[in-house]
Structure formats: structure tokens, C-alpha cells
Amino acid sequence: MKIKYSNDKRVFNIHTEGIPYLSVDMLDEMGVPNLYSTRFLSYDEETDKGTEGIRTALMKGDDLSEAVPHIAKMRDRLARQIGSSIEYECITDQKHTNYVHVAKEEDVNIRWPERKPLHMQYVDGIVSDIPNVLLTVFGGDCPPVYIVDPVRKAIGLVHAGWRGTLGRIPEVAIAQMVVHFGSDPSDMYAAIGPGVCRDCYEMGDEVYDAFAEEWSKKEADEILCRYPALDSDGREIPGGKYHLDIFSANKMTLLRAGIPHNHISVSNVCTKCNADTFYSYRAGRLENEQAAMLVNRFR
């Protein structure tokens, strides 16, 4: 599969049998089933071409009567490729919050969005210690963050857009796991999945101001820097525009929460740079979104 990497470090394994997907090498080594889908329904390694069109997320303007059964079927096919099914699924609502839900048995197999319980609305992350539970989040350029605790047999999965990143959503998930499952961050492992890279992630000054206020100016200067930029008329913008390194920002949050440096895997895949392989809002190719999945099962 044609993927442009930002470095040569092996972070993901590529699977092209059935519906193509990526999996996190670190989690694979631990025996924790996980995936990150692409825009392909199938991929032929001999011709190096894929059939596009997989739909895993409900999009604005979709016909519910047609879309809901179809996307459920697609997610189920994906889940079965990592030994699970949507009968075990607990899914996010995703409104760019830092709200993390602690999943209970009644939250599993809701078949979202056929039913939409009030307590699951505006949820951008889920944690659970239910054996074999399947957590699912979505993203077009916002990276997922996978969190696993092999000691307490608990997992978390969050959608980390810039607003969720600002609200330190991975740290919120970790705190929920500490409180509800007795987890110790030093036992945890975390992986930041594919998303938009810093070179492609242009932001307004208000984003820098928000991070400087909520985090610190020092941290804002570490994760945001100015690039040359042009206005809509092609004229140079004095001082350029800020660009956000969302991967580094989430890694900073994971380290701050107490996860050891050598327990963290950071994506080297940009969804916009690879818009022929992934759906991407920033590339203007968001026909649908990728699904990120994580199963609470350990070798």
C-alpha cells in the first residue's frame, strides 16, 4: 500500500487481506487487537491499486435508512478481521470535547446511531475494563489515541482533535482508568494513530493563544510554530501562520500523565499527505472517515 512516512521508524503494520487496515506495531507485539482503517474496501498488492469507498462513519447529509445498516455492516467486517464484532462495540459521539465515558455493559452493542442515549452524547473518548469490549472512534485528520493497561486489563480510546488535545483528553482518559480500574500510568502503554502532520496543520492565532493560556507559553511554543503563508489573494501574510504538531502535543500529555517514554508510540503517518489512502478534511477529501478500533483482549 502506498503510504508516505515522515521517518523510517516502524510504527504500523499494514494488512491488505480483506478490508485493508493499519495496526500499531507496539500493540500487536502485546497481542492487543487494534486497527485504523483506510479509504479502501480492498487492495491488490500485485497491481498496487485499491478499491475506494468504505464507509464506517455516519456523515452529515447521509440518508439514515440507507447509511446506518451499511456502515454497521462495514464496521462489523472490519471488527471481525481482528477477532471481534460490533456486538461488542462501544462507540463515541464525537463533538470535539474532552469528555471520556466509562463504558458499562448497557453501553455495549447500542448499534449507534440507531439509538443515541443521552449519557453517550458529546463523548469523544471511552475507557473500559469489560473483557473483549470493542472501542471505536473516528477521524478524518484528528488522530486517535489508543491506551492499554495490561496489568488491570483495561483500555481507552480517544478522538484527539485540536480542541480535545487542548483539553488533554488522553490525560482525562488515563485519570478515569486510575479512578475506576485502579490503573497505574507507569503500567500503561499508549499509541497515537495517524492524523494531520504539522506541515499540513495550519491554525489561526487564536489556537496559539488558547494553548498558551490553558497550557503555558513555553509548551505552546514547543508545539506551534509559524510557517510562511499567503492570503486568499496570493499575498504574503506578515509573520505567516501557526502550524500545530498534534502528535507532539498528545505525546506531551501522555508523558505528563505518567506513561513512560518507552511505552509510547507516535504516528509517522499524515492523513493529508496520504489523501489517496486516507480520508482527509484538510485535503478536501472527507467523503467519510477512518475508524479506529481497540479490543480489550491481551495475549
4 is a domain residue: no
Task: Please give the average per-residue pLDDT across 102-122, as a whole number.
Answer: 79
Task: Please give the average per-residue pLDDT across 239-250, as a whole number.
Answer: 97
259 is a domain residue: yes
Please give the residue range of the domain that contains residue 113: 12-201+245-295
Sheet holding 241-244, edge to edge: 202-203, 241-244, 224-227
Contacts of residue 178, Cβ cutoff 8 Å, sequence gap at least 6:
184, 185
User: Considering the chain, what is the average pLDDT of its residues?
Assistant: 95
pLDDT confidence of residue 232? 85
Of the pLDDT bands very low, low, confident and very high (cuts 50, 70, 90), residue 112 is low
pLDDT confidence of residue 225? 96
Q: How far apart are CA 38 and CA 36, in angstroms?
A: 7
pLDDT confidence of residue 74? 96
Of the pLDDT bands very low, low, confident and very high (cuts 50, 70, 90), residue 127 is very high
237 is a domain residue: no
Task: Please give the average per-residue pLDDT across 81-101, as a whole number.
Answer: 94
- Is the model's pLDDT at 114 over the cut of 80? no
Contacts of residue 85, Cβ cutoff 8 Å, sequence gap at least 6:
76, 79, 134
227 is a domain residue: no
Tell me the H-state helices in the chain.
25-30, 64-81, 162-166, 169-181, 205-214, 217-223, 246-256
How much of the chain exceeds pLDDT 90, in percent?
A: 87
Task: Please give the average per-residue pLDDT across 84-112, as a whole number.
Answer: 91
Q: Is 192 helix (H, G, I), strand (E, B) or coil?
A: strand
How much of the chain exceeds pLDDT 70, in percent?
A: 98
Tens-digit pLDDT profile for residues 23-50: 999 999 999 999 999 999 999 999 999 9
Tens-digit pLDDT profile for residues 246-271: 999 999 999 999 999 999 999 999 99
238 is a domain residue: no
Instruction: Write the DSSP symbol of residue 107.
Output: G
230 is a domain residue: no
pLDDT confidence of residue 122? 87
Q: Is 236 helix (H, G, I), strand (E, B) or coil?
A: strand
Count the domains in the chain.
1
CATH number at residue 76: 3.60.140.10
Of the pLDDT bands very low, low, confident and very high (cuts 50, 70, 90), residue 113 is low
218 is a domain residue: no
- Is the model's pLDDT at 119 over the cut of 80? no
Which residues are registered as beta bridge partners of 202?
243
- Is the model's pLDDT at 115 over the cut of 80? no
∠ CA 104-184-135, nearest 5°, is 35
268 is a domain residue: yes
Q: How far from chain centre, in Å, is Cα 118?
A: 23
Global pTM value: 0.96
Tens-digit pLDDT profile for residues 152-208: 999 999 999 999 999 999 999 999 999 999 999 999 999 999 999 999 999 999 999
